Structure 1
């Protein structure tokens, strides 16, 4: 198991769960970004997270392997939020999510390379105010 200080998934979840990033003691060896997305379209979740990760230097958008790794981590996190179903608007569900993307080396052996974690936290439910409930998801993938 990765050391406590190297747990990128834990760090991502902490960032997604708090509004005050400066209160989190981040390992200096990670690169991260946070953002928010509200939508009835899962494609918009992917687009928002991918855009934030590129703009904040978490991934290099010109390298397919980095974009591809992020994509799979995002899909895994969305499955957590949607309980295994990627549909939202088609089944009249909407989300309001805070997201965090963390990139780092979760293993002592640097040859294991970089990994990426995507955490989502927020609400999901019918598109009627007050009809939503909390939900969370976490996806981790190697780069």
Structure 2
């Protein structure tokens, strides 16, 4: 089993959240969506990403393993943004994030199945304008 260099799903998800690379994704026949969310509550960030992924057909919300895989990818990405403590409002932090969700097979062998990548990029900080800094997070999970 080898990870195909041109099909690094995490790299593509980060590039997607920073800029569009739709041509590459079309060639790979991967599904994707992008969106924005701002909140002082992590559950609202999770809900916004899950809603977008379902609405754009990235996951089938009626299939538990797909929703579960997405949840874990989101939480892993949030850990990156929040530096390991997925707390926002309770510790006086807020985020303004752009997100991307990507579904595809990053392996040469199609039997390895599909994976989900969630990338987050934006700002985090005190809920006072000008008191934030950039942050980025990436979560990858198999379906």
By the TM > 0.5 criterion, same fold? yes
How many residue pairs are counted as aligned between the two chains? Answer: 141
The secondary structure found in structure 1 opposite 2:99 is strand
The secondary structure found in structure 2 opposite 1:67 is helix
Give the RMSD, CA atoms, in angstroms: 1.3
The secondary structure found in structure 1 opposite 2:29 is coil
Aligned to 2:4: 3
Gap runs ≥5 in structure 2 = none
Deviation per CA, 1:8-47, whole angstroms, max 9, x where unpaired?
11111011112xx267632432100000000000000100
Aligned to 1:25: 24
TM-score by length of 1: 0.94
Partners of 1:28 and 1:92 in 2: how far apart?
41
Deviation per CA, 1:46-95, whole angstroms, max 9, x where unpaired?
00000000000000111000000000000000000000001000000000
Partners of 1:40 and 1:24 in 2: how far apart?
35
Partners of 1:83 and 1:98 in 2: how far apart?
17
Partners of 1:46 and 1:22 in 2: how far apart?
24
TM-score by length of 2: 0.94
Gap runs ≥5 in structure 1 = none
The secondary structure found in structure 2 opposite 1:59 is coil
The answer to whether the 8 A contact 1:15-1:24 is kept is no
Partners of 1:2 and 1:33 in 2: how far apart?
23
